[in-house]
Amino acid sequence: MDSKYHFNFEDLKVYQKALEFGELVHKQLTDFPKIEDYRLSAQFARAADSIAFNIAEGSGSSDASFLNYLRIARDSSLECVAATTKAHLRGYISFEQSEMNRSLLVEINKMLSSLMKHLKTKKP
């Protein structure tokens, strides 16, 4: 997004990747049946968006607090693994879409782990 207003967390590659994943899930959810609106679709959308939301929310905090938000973001990404599996098992997304989701989630998890490690070892 091109805005004249900028926040530092927007420079984080993991935040950008999390946004990308959230938008990918949003597009996939348009093909889910209506019966899933308040079940898998809602849960999957919340978990996918929660990754970027927690990175953004925690970025303005102390390193210790940011670490906690990053843990929550990681937990949400793992929830998305389960949601991806459920969506594939129910025939809502293809194997290829499932693999794309899983690939992005592996990448996001590695990035989150790396950032968490950096914050843990950072000298005050």
pLDDT digits (tens, 9 = 90+) for 15-68: 999 999 999 999 999 999 999 999 999 999 999 999 999 999 999 999 999 999
Domain positions in the chain: 12-26+35-121
> What's the average model confidence in pLDDT over 73-78?
98
Q: Which pLDDT value is given to residue 37?
A: 93
Instruction: Give dist(CA 19, CA 2) in Å, integer.
Output: 15
Tokens representing 86 are: 């459920």
Give tens-digit pLDDT for 80-124. Answer: 999 999 999 999 999 999 999 999 999 999 999 999 999 999 866
The reported pLDDT for the residue numbered 29 is 97
Q: Does domain 12-26+35-121 have CATH number 1.20.1440.60?
A: yes
d(CA 77, CA 55): 12
pLDDT of the residue at 3: 86
Q: Report residue 9 as tokens.
A: 């967390």
The per-residue pLDDT for 2 is 77
Q: Is the dihedral of CA 51, 54, 58, 59 positive or negative?
A: positive
The model's pTM is 0.94
Per-residue pLDDT band at 1 (split at 50, 70, 90):
low
